[in-house]
Chain A
Amino acid sequence: MHMSDALVSPAVAVTAGAVAVALVATAAVRLKREYTPHTLPMMGVLGAFVFAAQMLNFAIPGTGSSGHLVGGVLLAAMLGPWAAFLTLTAVLTLQCLLFADGGLMALGCNILNMAAVSCLVVYPLLFRPVAGPAMSFGRMSLAAVVSCVMALLLGSAAVTLETEMSGVTALPTPTFLGFMLPIHMVIGLVEGVATALVLGVVRRAEPAMLETLSRDVETTARPARPVMTLAVVAVVAVACAAWIPTVASEWPDGLEWSLLRTAETENPSAEPSAMSAAAASVVSATALLPDYKGALAGVIGALILVTVAFVVAWAVRSPWPRRRKRDGR
Chain B
Amino acid sequence: MSHHFLNFSQVSYSYPDGMSAVRQLSLHITHGERVALLGANGAGKTTLLLLAAGLLRPTSGSISLGGVPITQHTMHLVRQNVGIVFQNPDNQLFMPTVRDDVAFGPVNMGLSDEEVARRVECALRRVASLHLADRSPDTLSAGQKHAVAIATTLATSPNILLMDEPSAGLDPRARRRLIELVRCFDHTCIIATHDMEMARELCPRAIVMCEGSALCDAPTDAVLSDSALLDRAGL
Could you list which residues of chain A lie within 8 angstroms of chain B, going by C-beta atoms?
A: 41, 44, 208, 326, 328-329
Contacts and interface: CB of A to CB of B under 8 A. Distances in A.
Contact of B16 (A41, A208, A328, A329): A208
A329 B94 contact: no
Contacts of B141: 328-329
Interface of B: 16, 94, 131-132, 139-141, 144
Contacts, number: 10
Contacts of B131: 328
A41 B144 contact: no
B139 A44 contact: no
Contacts of B94: 41, 44
A208 B16 CA distance: 10
A41 B139 CA distance: 20
10 contacts: A41-B94, A44-B94, A208-B16, A326-B139, A328-B131, A328-B132, A328-B140, A328-B141, A328-B144, A329-B141
A37 to B, nearest CB: 9
Contacts of A208: 16
A248 B94 CA distance: 54
Contacts of B16: 208
Q: Which 4 A-B pairs have the closest CB atoms?
A: A329-B141, A41-B94, A328-B144, A328-B132
A328 B132 CA distance: 9
Nearest to B144: A328
Contacts of A326: 139
A183 B69 CA distance: 62
Nearest to A329: B141
Contacts of B140: 328
A220 to B, nearest CB: 20
Contacts of A328: 131-132, 140-141, 144
Contacts of A41: 94
Nearest to A327: B131
Nearest to A326: B139
A329 B131 CA distance: 13
B84 to A, nearest CB: 14
